Structure formats: C-alpha cells, structure tokens
Amino acid sequence: MSAITSYPIAAITTAPGRGGIGIVRISGPDLSGFIHSFFAQELRPRHAHFLAFLDADGQAIDEGIALYFKGPNSYTGEDILELQGHGGTAVLRRVLNRCFEVGAAFDLRHAAPGEFTQRAFLNDRLDLAQAEAVADLIDASSEAAAKGAMASLSGAFSQQINNLADKIIHLRMLVEATLDFPEEEIDFLEKYQAADQLRHIDGQLQQLRLLAKQGQVMRDGLHVVLAGQPNVGKSSLLNALAGDDIAIVTDIAGTTRDRVTQLIHIEGIPIHIVDTAGLRETDDTVESIGIQRSWQEIAKANVILHLLDGRQPDDNSDHDIMERLPKHTPTLQIFNKCDLLSADQQNALPNDNKNHLQISAQTGMGLDELRQRLLQIAGWSANAESPWLARERHLHALERCNDHLKMAQFHAKHDDQILDLFAEELRLAHNELCEITGVFTSDDLLGEIFSSFCIGK
C-alpha cells in the first residue's frame, strides 16, 4: 500500500489559541533541501536543535526547537520537520507563512484535514482502524474512551481482525486448492473438517462483534430522549442525572420550549440526554414548534424515557403518547414523583426494573437503577474485556462478514458437492474484514474518513 507523494505539506498542528508551545509540522518525501534553505544548515535526525526562526530579511520571528525525523522512521513514513515555538496564533501563522515562502521552490502546500495521518496510512505506518483511532483519541470525552482509543491505536482491534482473517484465509486456501482438483471436491468438507473450522471462525466473529458493539457504545454513546407531558419532571430528571441545574424547572406547564442537550458519563460511557418540550395539544405557536422538534428528537433516539407522573399513571394522554412512540426504539416508562406516593400507591405501579421504573428526580430515588438500565440497553458490561473503540462502519462490516459466513455454512450443509459458492462466500467475508483495516478500501471511503480529522493531524 506504500504511496510516494511528490510534494511536501505543512500545517499548524496545535489547537488554535494562546499556549505555552505551538508546533508547525512539515512532511514530505525529502526535506533536506527545504531544511537547508530555511536554516542554512543541516539538522541531525532525532536531535533537538535550539534555533531562531528567521523571516526573509533575517529578522527573528520566534525561536524554539527544530526536530527532524528522517523517513521512513517517522509518523507519516516521510521526512518530518517540527518547529516548536511559542503558542501564540500570530507568531505561529508567521512561522507557517515563512515555511510556505521557503517551500515554494519545493511545491510545499497546506495540508488538508487528516492528511498527515492519511500519509501514515498510505505509507503502511498505520492501518485504517489505527488511523481512525488517532481522531478518536483526540476526540475522547472520557478516560474510558481515551483508553479505548489508545488500545485501537496500539493495534488491539486490528490484531483481532487480522487473526480472524488469517483463519478465513487458511480455509480459503484449502478450498481453492481443492477446486483445482475436481475429483477431490466430494471429500473436501469431511477431509479437512471444514464445517468445524467454519464453526470456530463463526464463534470468534460473534465474540468480536460483541466487543465491537461495546467499543462503538464507548465511542459514540447513547442518544437518550426524555419524552412526556408537561410537568412530569423531564427537566428535573435531566438536572438530576447531570448533577447541575441545566434546564429551567417551574410549576408552569410548557416551561421547556426547545430541546436541551447535556452530555453525561455513566461508568465512562457517554450518554447524550435530550430534554424536550412537553407533548400536548396547544394553540401557542412557539410551544407548537417546540413540540414538533420533540417528535423529531424522539425519532432519532437510541433510547426513549417516557416520563409519567406517578400520581396519575392512567392518564389517557400518556396512552396516546405511548401509541405514537417508535415501536423499534427501546422505551422505558419512568414513573416520576414516587416520593409523593404511599407504599400502597407505589406497589400498584409497574416496577419490573426492566421496562418500568419508579423514580423521584427530586430525591434521587431509583436513579441508580435507571443508570444501570441504560448501560444494559447499551450492551455494556463492567465485567467484559476492556474494549477498544469501534465505529459504526466497523459494525456494519462485521455484520456483512457474518452474513457471508452464514451463507458459507448454508452451502457447506446443502451444496456439499459444489464448492464454488462456498469459496465465494469465504472470499466476500474476508473482503469485509479487510475493509476495516484498509487492505481493500475505496478512495471515497478514505476521503470521508480523513476529511473528519482536524488540520495538522
């Protein structure tokens, strides 16, 4: 997959704003000419050089550390020069502009988003799953997510993908060899215990899918929408879960007129909670718009918390809301204000701790059970192996791989004298795994992935 580029690229790699240190990074196939033109001297690879960064008139723009990494032993696999100076926006821009002035003779251009990491991928320094982990590590919003991203970056996810791919390759090799000798086809499945090998591969794939699902939840979290009539305590529940006064809470119905979103973490899992306008019939134009947006959020939810006033559990309006909620989305009925109920009234309410929960957003009653239920819906288990991060595209590829393996098992059982279909399904399953690590992938997919990176990475 090694790719040789004909031009160098440069960008500021540190975040915008003021800081103690700012870094300008240059990467290219051969930076020796650029370095000599910029500093009028050679730089020793992997040694820190304290130098002045001069403008065209020889005046100092800044002074700092120059680090030179000779390819292929660098992040991108090319020559890399990092200029580490003071972190002010103006001074970094001046240093970068000076790089472009000097680099004009070497076709230096501004790096596109993610282009440094893309070159690392194209030059076999990282596979595609590891390259995506770079962005995930930068974007990690919790310690658990950062650990998961680092595990992916170190190759833990890729190693499991490659181990599974190797087993499929071994079985494919036997099948392809047998296809060259048709007289051996009838005995193949039994002779090489192909069905047993396929069952072992399937078991490994199912475990991988489970871990990938956890990794995807750790990365993306759950989109949880609070829905219900006005004054059932949606905003109070948001504040209780967030541990802060995020939303306005009053006794006036219809206080919340627009969605309010808050990110919280439960055992390291990001949970995006959306408070919505109370669902009811109204002639108020502004409130109607808020209610329309509430239904839009409900349609996008991973989990719906349908809040009801525990003192009025049989309200017909709640039945109407329940009928309109998406049937395919996990929905929990949350009876709030249960601290105001007698023991007999509480016992009369559904309370299976699965689809029905009794809580009090005011006192905190039942909130721990609610948090654990959300983790269960997410498929999270604290006792499971610590996962790497995974993306939605990884889950889809694993799902397609699973479909092809199921078809291979079908052909092994029903078409044991025709190995061509068996071999083709194995090939397609293998290709799906290779798409995760980037062995086989389209330019459109690469463009979509790396365009989401920040400039300078």
Q: Tell me the average pLDDT across 413-430.
A: 80
Architecture of the domain defined by 9-126: 2-Layer Sandwich (3.30)
- The CATH number corresponding to 138-217+388-438 among 3.40.80.10, 1.20.120.430, 3.50.30.20, 1.20.1740.10 equals 1.20.120.430
Token pair of 401, please? 């791989």
pLDDT at residue 306, rounded to an integer:
94
Q: Where, residue-wise, is CATH 1.20.120.430 in the chain?
A: 138-217+388-438
pLDDT at residue 281, as a whole number: 85
CA distances from 121 to 131, 169, 450 (A): 7, 23, 10
> Strand 79-85 to strand 60-69: parallel, antiparallel, or no bridges (unpaired)?
antiparallel
> pTM of the predicted model, to two decimals?
0.77
Closest CA relative to residue 6, chosen from 32, 33, 30, 37? 30
Say which residue, 100 or 452, is predicted with more confidence.
100
Mean pLDDT on 85-97: 94
Least confident of 14-18, 244-248, 388-392: 244-248
93: tokens are: 């821009």
pLDDT digits 0-9 by tens, 278-331: 888 888 888 888 889 999 999 999 899 999 998 887 788 888 999 999 999 999
pLDDT digits (tens, 9 = 90+) for 238-255: 989 988 766 555 555 555
How many Å apart are CA 334 and CA 227, to the nearest integer?
10
222-377 CATH? 3.40.50.300
With cut-offs at 50, 70 and 90, classify the pLDDT of residue 442.
low
DSSP summary character for residue 23: E
Is pLDDT larger for residue 10 or for residue 277?
10
Beta bridge partners of 60: 54
Alpha carbon distance 261, 389 (integer Å): 24
Whether 41 has a pLDDT exceeding 90, the answer reads yes
Rounded Cα gap, residues 439 and 41, in angstroms: 40
Task: Select the more confidently predicted residue: 6 or 80.
Answer: 80
pLDDT of residue 2: 47
Q: CA 290, CA 271: separation in Å to the nearest integer?
A: 22
Distance CA 76, CA 111 (A): 13
**In this structure, what DSSP letter does residue 388 have?**
P
Instruction: Kindly report, as residue ranges, where domains of CATH 3.40.50.300 are found in the chain.
Output: 222-377
| SS3 call for 347 | helix
* Cβ-based neighbour number of residue 21 at 10 Å: 11
